[in-house]
Chains A and B, each alone.
Chain A
Amino acid sequence: MKFLDEYRDAEFARQLAREIHRVTTKPWSIMEVCGGQTHAIVKFGLDELLPKQINLIHGPGCPVCVTAVELIDKALEIAARPNVIFCSFGDMLRVPGSTTDLLSVKASGGDVRIVYSPLDTLKLAEQNPTKEIVFFGVGFETTAPATAMTVYQAAKKNLKNFSLLVSHVLVPPAMEALMSSPNCRVQGFLAAGHVCTVMGFEEYFPIAKKYHVPIVVTGFEPMDILQGVLMVVQQLESGRAEVENQYSRSVRREGNLPAQQLIREVFQIVPRKWRGVGEIPQSGLGLSEAYMAFDAEKKFGVAELRVEEPSECLSGLVLQGQIKPHECPAFGTKCTPEHPLGATMVSSEGACAAYYRYRRHELVEDAADKKS
Chain B
Amino acid sequence: MSEGKKDFAPACPFPIRNYPQVLLAHGGGGKLMHDLIGKMFLAAFKNPLLETQHDAAVVELTGKKIAFTTDSYVVRPLFFPGGDVGSMAVHGTVNDLAMAGARPLYLSAGFILEEGLPMETLWRVVCSMRDAAKKCGVQIITGDTKVVDKGKGDGLFINTAGIGVVAHEQKIAPQNVESGDVILVSGDLGRHGMAIMAVREGLEFESQIESDSAPVHETVLQLLKAGIEIHCLRDLTRGGLTSALNEISEAVKLTFLVEEKLIPVREDVHAACEILGLDPFQVACEGRFAAFIPARDAERALAVLRAGPNGESACAIGKVSDQRHAKVLLKSLVGVQRVLDMATGEQLPRIC
Residues on A facing B (Cβ under 8 Å): 1, 4, 8-10, 13-14, 43-46, 48-49, 90, 113-116, 120, 222, 336-338, 348, 357-362, 365
Bound CA span A13–B261, Å: 15
Among B202, B203, B325, find the residue whose CB has the most chain A CB atoms closer than 10 A.
Answer: B202
Task: Report the stretch among B18-26, B217-225, B266-274 that lies at the interface.
Answer: B266-274
21 pairs, CB–CB < 8 Å, chain A vs chain B: A1-B267, A9-B333, A9-B334, A10-B261, A43-B338, A44-B332, A44-B333, A44-B334, A45-B334, A46-B334, A49-B334, A114-B202, A222-B333, A222-B334, A336-B344, A348-B277, A359-B338, A360-B341, A361-B339, A362-B339, A365-B325
Q: State the Cβ distance, B228 to closest chain A Cβ, in Å.
A: 32
Q: State the Cβ distance, B325 to closest chain A Cβ, in Å.
A: 8
Bound CA span A116–B276, Å: 8
Query: Interface readout for B311-352 with A: 1 if CB under 8 Å, 0 if not?
Result: 000000000000001010000111111110100110000000
Q: A49-B336, A115-B202 are in contact. Are A1 and B270 (CB under 8 A)?
A: yes
Tell me if B's interface is mostly helix, strand, loop or mixed: loop
Q: State the Cβ distance, B90 to closest chain A Cβ, in Å.
A: 32
Partner of B338, one of A8, A90, A358: A358
Bound CA span A10–B339, Å: 18
Q: Is the CB of B344 within 8 A of A338?
A: yes
Q: State the Cβ distance, A11 to closest chain B Cβ, in Å.
A: 9
Query: Interface readout for B53-92 with A: 1 if CB under 8 Å, 0 if not?
Result: 0000000000000000000000000000000000000000
Number of interface residues of B (CB under 8 A): 22
* Chain A residues with CB under 8 A of B341: 357-358, 360-361
8 closest A-B pairs (Cβ-Cβ)? A45-B336, A13-B334, A337-B344, A10-B335, A8-B333, A361-B339, A358-B338, A222-B334
* Chain A residues with CB under 8 A of B344: 336-338
Q: Is the CB of A45 within 8 A of B338?
A: yes
* Chain B residues with CB under 8 A of A338: 344-345
Bound CA span A339–B344, Å: 10
Q: Is the CB of A337 within 8 A of B202?
A: no
Bound CA span A43–B340, Å: 10
Q: State the Cβ distance, A230 to closest chain B Cβ, in Å.
A: 15
Counting residue pairs across A and B whose Cβ atoms lie within 8 Å, the total is: 64
Bound CA span A45–B335, Å: 9
Bound CA span A360–B325, Å: 14
Bound CA span A266–B276, Å: 28
* Chain B residues with CB under 8 A of A49: 334-336
Q: Is the CB of B202 within 8 A of A45?
A: no
Q: Which residue of A lies closest to B339 (CB)?
A: A361
* Chain B residues with CB under 8 A of A13: 334-335
Q: Is the CB of A43 within 8 A of B332?
A: yes
Q: State the Cβ distance, B10 to closest chain A Cβ, in Å.
A: 37
Partner of A8, one of B202, B271, B334: B334
Q: A1-B270, A4-B274, A337-B345 are in contact. Are A44 and B203 (CB under 8 A)?
A: no
* Chain B residues with CB under 8 A of A1: 267, 270-271, 274
Query: Interface readout for B251-281 with A: 1 if CB under 8 Å, 0 if not?
Result: 0000000000100000100110010110000
* Chain B residues with CB under 8 A of A45: 332, 334, 336-338
Bound CA span A222–B261, Å: 15
Bound CA span A276–B336, Å: 32
Q: State the Cβ distance, B139 to closest chain A Cβ, in Å.
A: 41
* Chain B residues with CB under 8 A of A358: 338-339, 341
Q: Which residue of B lies closest to A11 (CB)?
A: B335
* Chain A residues with CB under 8 A of B202: 113-116, 120
Q: Is the CB of B271 within 8 A of A48?
A: no
Q: Which residue of B lies closest to A339 (CB)?
A: B344
Q: State the Cβ distance, A85 to closest chain B Cβ, in Å.
A: 12
Q: Is the CB of A48 within 8 A of B336?
A: yes
Bound CA span A114–B348, Å: 12
Bound CA span A338–B342, Å: 12
Q: State the Cβ distance, A56 to closest chain B Cβ, in Å.
A: 14
- Besides A1-B274, A358-B339, 8 new A-B residue pairs in contact (Cβ under 8 A), listed by A number: A1-B270, A4-B274, A10-B334, A49-B334, A115-B202, A116-B202, A222-B334, A358-B341
Q: State the Cβ distance, B261 to closest chain A Cβ, in Å.
A: 8
Q: State the Cβ distance, A357 to closest chain B Cβ, in Å.
A: 6
